[in-house]
Every structure is written in structure tokens, then in C-alpha cells.
Structure 1
Amino acid sequence: MRPQKVLDKEIVEKLVCVFRSNGYDGASLSELAEKTGLKKASLYHRFPDGKRGMAVAVLNHLGEWAEEHVFNVLNDESILPAQRLVNSLDNIRILYNDGKDACVLRVFSLGSGLELFEEQVKNGMKHWVEAFNTYGKALGLPGEKAQKYAVQTLLEIQGSLVVTKGLNDLSIFEQTLNDIESRYLKK
């Protein structure tokens, strides 16, 4: 068996770009193949479920990334609470390329993507809320307030990505993350 010239992780990261730009419905197999540098047959070999399998790989990849770099960092009790939030927000900046990139949960919740990936989208959003809820409780917020802050945080991050893109103004995303930090840390 010949060694793979392109590693699976690299392929998935390239697929992320296509889905972020075009959504599920707009991502053509030709464009997915072109972006990855693979022929369509090679893509099908790696993803026997076709485009849907590629989308699941993208969701899993980004979910694992967020788990490791945002949620686990946010709730790592070996780090001071304020630093955990700062580190997590810095990683959110990386995840969304300082506000330039769309959220895959959002793009997969449009068109036929929602029908196909409803459970993954819902679970992804739940993980965001749970992580920030746990963090809020660790700061000493009462349960209801911690939950409210967590949902508000998700709303603000998602909303700021849409508005940032729509107005072509990256400062909106940055200001939103600063506002989230201020709310939790009472700056």
C-alpha cells in the first residue's frame, strides 16, 4: 500500500474551508476535491459516505478542537479562572480567524444541512453552553445566572460572526469577545 501523500487531518482542514465558505448545499464535490488536491475517487475512498461523510468529519474535527482548546481550557482548574477565560477567548479568536471565518455549526444549520446534521449542530451548541455554564459556576455565579451567561455568550459569539461578516468589520467580533471577558470578570 502506498503511503498517503496528504494526511487526513490536512484534508479535513481544507474541507472546513469549503464548507465554511459555501455551506453544505453549496459545497460541490468538484470544489471539495480541488481544495484538497485529491481526485473525486480518492475523496470517496477516504469518505465512503461522500459529501455527508466529509461534513461529519468536519463537524467532528472542529468539535474535538473546541473541546481541547476552548472547553477544556475554560474548565482547567489548575489555571486561575481569569486566565482560563482569557486563554479560551484567545483560542476562539484562532478558531474563527479573528472573526473572518464563519461557524460551521451555523452553516450546517442552513438549507438541507439542518435536516442532515440537526443532532450534531444541537450537541455542538449544547457543549458550548455547558462549558461556559460550568465556568460561570466555578466563578461563583448562581446556577440560573451561570446558565444565562452561558447562553448569552453563545448568542454573542454566533451573532458577532454574522454581523462581522455582513458589515465587513472585524472589530465587532473583537469587541464581542472583550465584552464577554468583561461580563465574566466584571471589568
Structure 2
Amino acid sequence: MTIGYAGAVRRAGVAALLATTLVFTVAACGGGGDGSEAQGDKTKGSTAPAGSTGSPASDGKTVPDTTTVLVTAKGDKGVDMVIHTANRDSGGFLTVSGEFKNTSGNLFSVPPQWNGMEKDVAASGNSLAAMTLVDSKEKKRYYVLRDTDNRPLTTTGYDPAIKAGESLPFFAQFPAPPNTTTSVDLQFVGFPNTPIEIS
């Protein structure tokens, strides 16, 4: 009688252990799939700026709205930086678009300083990561934003030179200054300090 009772207890214990293991296995499999997919969605980055009128940064080509000219800055060697728009969007970003116009009769080689000094950004190739905005009112400097892969949210991968009479369209996306700030100074290598109005 004692031996039979012990065997029944052992069989019941094994059954309970198997049932518990099965419950944990099902819960782990069900939860793991959903969690990993959700995490995957969170880490996906986009090179297309929110509210930008241009193409994604990865293709290096943008087509800004050229119907408006906010300001033109005369740069080195006959290259003008024409700013067409500086738009604040609801996501808290400020996107500046424009073009570099080679008004000289010579080929303009884009200086490597346009890429900025960050080693991590060098992997993106040619970019405008060195472009910054200065909010004198708030005494803050804003740098070009990065995506989740640390690529700058600006025009990248463009040709290393601009032919005479041709243009290089561009965009650059920054954190938006406070709503009370209506203008900022754009600073970029080879060009004078350039005040622009935010719309």
C-alpha cells in the first residue's frame, strides 16, 4: 500500500512538472515573437526627413521648392548658397532646403570640411553634416540630426564637384528651436554667417 502510494505521488509530480513546463514554453514562444517584432520596428531608421520636400538622404538628390528665395550667401570660388525654405514641422524638426550654385566658369571641388569632423559620419560619404544653426536669442547651436544608424539627415552621396553653371540641391534637418524663435543664423564652411527666417 505504501509503495503504491509513493508511485502515485511520483507520477502526479511528474505530470505537474510537465504541465508547468508546457505552460512556460507556450508563454515564452507567444510573447517572444511579438516582442522581437515590436523592438525591430522601434530600431528601424529612416533617411527621409519628416516634412522634407526633397528625396531621402540616401540617394543624395533633393528637389527643393525653388519658388521662394529666403537669402543668398556668396561663398568661396564663385559658389552661392541659396536658401529656399526653412520650415518648422509639428514633429519638432526644422528642415532647411536650398541649393549650391556654381556661378563661376570653373569646376568647383567640394571641400571635405562640408562633411564635418565626426568619424562616425564619414561612413555616409559626402554630406553636409558640418552645417549648423545658431539661435542667438536662446544662445543655442543646433547640429544636423542623425538617424538610428548615425547617418546625418541631410543630402549625402553627391558628386565631389559641381560643374560650372550647375547646382547641387540640398536639404538638412535640425531640431526645431522654440516657437518664440523666428530666425536663426546658418553657419557653413566657406560661407558667411547667414540669417534665415523660419516659416
Task: Quickly name the TM-score band, shorter chain normalised.
Answer: under 0.3
Q: Give 1 or 2: higher helix fraction.
A: 1
Structure scoring higher RCO (CA < 8 A, sep ≥ 6) equals 2
Which of these two proteins has the greater Rg computed from alpha carbons?
2
Q: Give 1 or 2: higher strand fraction.
A: 2
